[in-house]
């Protein structure tokens, strides 16, 4: 069996859309282990796209759920889970709930980025630019309340 670094190198050269079955072959080598979310999300996508493998759609859903448990701020997993419910499970209402949760988390992360950038601007003496950034953030927050 290949070590994880060899598997990752092999995976980098496979385009998911072109050959999901080949990608599944490599991802089987890491079955049962948790690896970076990007790799796990690729595994879930490959399962959904591949027709002949030992996995099913519940496995794909379980992988995405596991990603969200381990990394609840990982926005691409919300996108994938929302698309899964919308297109695969034909449950757009559930998809919308998932998308809304992802949007809420993304907005919070963006706010953290704005505030951290403002703090960095203050630390290098760019108070006016930091104030403008803070005002922009306050405007966005007041619009969300409407």
Q: pLDDT tens across 48-101, in order?
A: 887 777 788 888 898 899 888 888 899 999 999 999 999 999 999 999 999 999
Cα separations in angstroms, 114 against 71, 75, 82, 140: 22, 18, 27, 11
Scored b (16 or more CB within 10 A) or e, 101-140 reads: ebeeeeeeeeeeebeeebeebeeeeeeeebeebbeebeee
Q: Both 4 and 65 in a single domain?
A: yes
Q: Both 66 and 23 in a single domain?
A: yes
Q: Both 10 and 61 in a single domain?
A: yes
More confidently predicted of 115 and 17: 115
Scored b (16 or more CB within 10 A) or e, 40-79 reads: bbbbbbbbbebeebebeeebbbebbeebbeeeeebeebbb
In a domain, 81, yes or no: no
In a domain, 23, yes or no: yes
DSSP state of 89: S
Q: Both 45 and 101 in a single domain?
A: no
85, with CB counted inside 10 A (0-12, 13-18, 19+), is buried
- Number of domains observed in the structure of the chain: 2
In a domain, 78, yes or no: no
Average pLDDT for the chain: 80
Domain around 50? 1-72
In this predicted structure, the answer to whether residue 34 has a pLDDT above a threshold of 60 is no
pLDDT attached to residue 36: 75
In a domain, 9, yes or no: yes
Percent over 90 (pLDDT), the chain: 36
pLDDT attached to residue 124: 95
In a domain, 77, yes or no: no
Q: Both 99 and 62 in a single domain?
A: no
Lowest pLDDT segment from 39-43, 74-78, 118-122: 39-43
Q: What is the pTM of this model?
A: 0.67
């Amino acid at each position: 069996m290949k070590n994880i670094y060899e598997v990752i190198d092999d995976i980098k050269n496979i385009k998911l859309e072109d050959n999901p079955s080949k990608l599944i072959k490599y991802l089987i080598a890491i079955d049962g282990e948790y690896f970076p979310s990007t790799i796990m999300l690729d595994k879930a996508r490959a399962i959904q796209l591949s027709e002949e493998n030992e996995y099913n759609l519940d496995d794909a859903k379980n992988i995405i759920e596991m990603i969200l448990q381990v990394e609840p701020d990982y926005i691409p997993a919300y996108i994938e889970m929302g698309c899964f419910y919308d297109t695969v499970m034909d449950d757009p209402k559930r998809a919308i709930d998932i998308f809304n949760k992802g949007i809420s988390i993304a907005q919070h992360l963006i706010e953290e980025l704005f505030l951290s950038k403002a703090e960095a601007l203050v630390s290098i003496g760019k108070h006016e630019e930091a104030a403008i950034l803070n005002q922009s953030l306050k405007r966005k927050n007041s619009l969300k309340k409407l």
